[in-house]
């Protein structure tokens, strides 16, 4: 349930409500908005008596039961969209962010080259996996810490924040010392220990939808991060497994408006892993934005044919530039802009 406090209550009053929430066996999450202070009481469905008990406290304005199984992720908990900011732009507030770069970090030269051109063509974030979760144990597993060092160098030169994947809870501290955003991939989307560890790191978490997850299960995974007190989560629709074989996965475009109507968290689309083939990536990116996505995460490689992972789906530089041109052309029709192109407030 969500406990809304009266305007202007003291910090002692807030603390006393938090104590009361704990006393009845619930966890408390305090969020201080501009005009209201909300205390999310997290636990099993409250009884009508418990709701009345909190309503009767003198500092409480109202109590709203949150009906959804995902509590902190729900729009009932936070009706305003969550806006996440970096030096290059923000996501969730109406502007569109693009994270782009190679599937995997393979060398300094490859990563720097990609970082330079994705920035030049309008991306606000650099992606690149240093630890790669591969279907086969015999495939390239990533450069590990050396890859993280390379990403840090690319950030130093370009100023682009970096998003990179973390594949096990033990690695979270290491990856979090380098990354601005921790990616949790589709294959780990229900690795609850990893979700909790990433939540505890305090870093923004970019969470991909598992390939066979319902949207409710997806939000429950996000809830594992949020329940650690870390409200910085980006949800990414990256395609699900269906009977269709022509694409690598089926991009569930409808996930975007559905999620936007259920949650305050930013929703992005990954057209690369859905398409599986570079020629189809731009179309899916545009479809995702048209459906209301707050951002894109796209794979591009200076020499895609030489890529050690996901070679078929990584855009060439010119395809990436072409896609960004189409994104720029589309956004005004949607009443939106690329993040870096917003006028200063
Ligand atoms: C990736 O981003 O390179 C990746 C492995 O993505 P996913 O987890 O969506 O397959
Ligand atoms: Mn990939």
Q: Give the ligand whose atoms come closest to the C-alpha of residue 135.
A: 1
pLDDT one-digit tens code per residue, 53-109: 999 999 999 998 888 889 889 998 888 999 999 999 999 999 999 999 999 999 999
pLDDT one-digit tens code per residue, 294-334: 999 999 999 999 999 999 999 999 999 999 999 999 999 99
Q: Measuring from atom 5 of ligand 1, which residue has the nearest CA? A: 185
Q: Cα(236)–Cα(271) distance, rounded to whole angstroms?
A: 10
Q: Measuring from atom 4 of ligand 1, which residue has the nearest CA? A: 185
Residue 275 C-alpha to ligand 1 middle, in angstroms?
A: 12
Q: Cα(223)–Cα(22) distance, rounded to whole angstroms?
A: 19
Residue 269 C-alpha to ligand 2 middle, in angstroms?
A: 14
The chain-wide mean pLDDT, for the chain, equals 95
Q: Which of 99, 101, 133, 235 to mutate to test the pocket of ligand 1 (most atoms within 8 A of CB)?
A: 133
Q: Residue 32 above 80 pLDDT?
A: no
Instruction: Identify the H or E element spanning 220.
Output: helix 215-226
Phi, psi of 115 (to 5 degrees): -60, -45
Residue 253 C-alpha to ligand 2 middle, in angstroms?
A: 19
pTM: 0.90
Ligand 1 proximal residues by C-beta, below 6 Å = 103, 129, 185-187, 208, 238, 270, 273
Question: Among 26, 32, 27, which Cα is nearest to 14's?
Answer: 32
pLDDT one-digit tens code per residue, 243-277: 999 999 999 999 999 999 999 999 999 999 999 99
pLDDT one-digit tens code per residue, 193-234: 999 999 999 999 999 999 999 999 999 999 999 988 899 999
Using the atom order of ligand 1, give the atom closest to the CA of residue 309.
Answer: 3
Q: Cα(280)–Cα(292) distance, rounded to whole angstroms?
A: 19
Q: Which residue has the tokens 């319902």?
A: 214
Q: Give the ligand whose atoms come closest to the C-alpha of residue 189.
A: 1
Q: Cα(157)–Cα(138) distance, rounded to whole angstroms?
A: 33
123: alpha, beta or left? (left if phi > 0; alpha if psi -120 to 50): beta
């Amino acid at each position: 349930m969500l406990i809304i406090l009266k305007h202007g209550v003291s910090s002692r009053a807030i603390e006393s409500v938090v104590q009361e929430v704990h006393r009845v066996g619930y966890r408390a999450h305090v969020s201080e908005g501009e005009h209201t202070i909300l205390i999310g009481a997290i636990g099993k469905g409250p009884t009508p008596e418990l709701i009345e008990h909190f309503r009767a406290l003198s500092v409480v304005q109202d109590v709203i039961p949150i009906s959804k199984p995902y509590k902190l992720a729900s729009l009932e908990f936070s009706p305003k969209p969550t806006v996440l900011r970096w030096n290059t732009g923000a996501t969730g507030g109406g502007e569109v962010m693009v994270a782009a770069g190679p599937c995997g970090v393979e060398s300094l030269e490859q990563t720097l080259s990609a970082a330079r051109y994705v920035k030049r063509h309008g991306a606000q974030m650099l992606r690149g996996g240093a630890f790669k979760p591969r279907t086969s144990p015999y495939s390239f597993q990533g450069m590990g810490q050396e890859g993280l060092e390379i990403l840090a160098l690319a950030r130093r030169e370009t100023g682009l924040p970096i998003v990179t994947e973390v594949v096990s809870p033990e690695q979270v501290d290491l990856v979090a010392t380098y990354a601005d955003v921790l990616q949790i991939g589709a294959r780990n989307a229900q690795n609850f220990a990893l979700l909790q560890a990433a939540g505890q790191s305090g870093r923004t978490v970019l969470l991909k939808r598992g390939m066979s997850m319902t949207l409710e299960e997806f939000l429950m995974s996000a809830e594992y991060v949020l329940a650690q007190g870390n409200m910085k989560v980006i949800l990414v629709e990256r395609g699900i497994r269906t009977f269709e074989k022509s694409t690598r996965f089926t991009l569930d475009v409808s996930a975007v408006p559905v999620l936007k109507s259920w949650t305050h968290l930013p929703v992005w689309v990954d057209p690369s892993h859905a398409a599986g083939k570079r020629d189809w990536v731009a179309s899916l990116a545009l479809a995702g934005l048209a459906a209301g996505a707050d951002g894109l995460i796209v794979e591009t490689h200076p020499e895609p044919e030489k890529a050690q992972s996901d070679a078929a789906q990584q855009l060439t530089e010119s395809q990436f530039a072409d896609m960004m041109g189409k994104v720029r052309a589309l956004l005004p029709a949607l009443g939106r802009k690329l993040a870096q192109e917003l006028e200063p407030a």
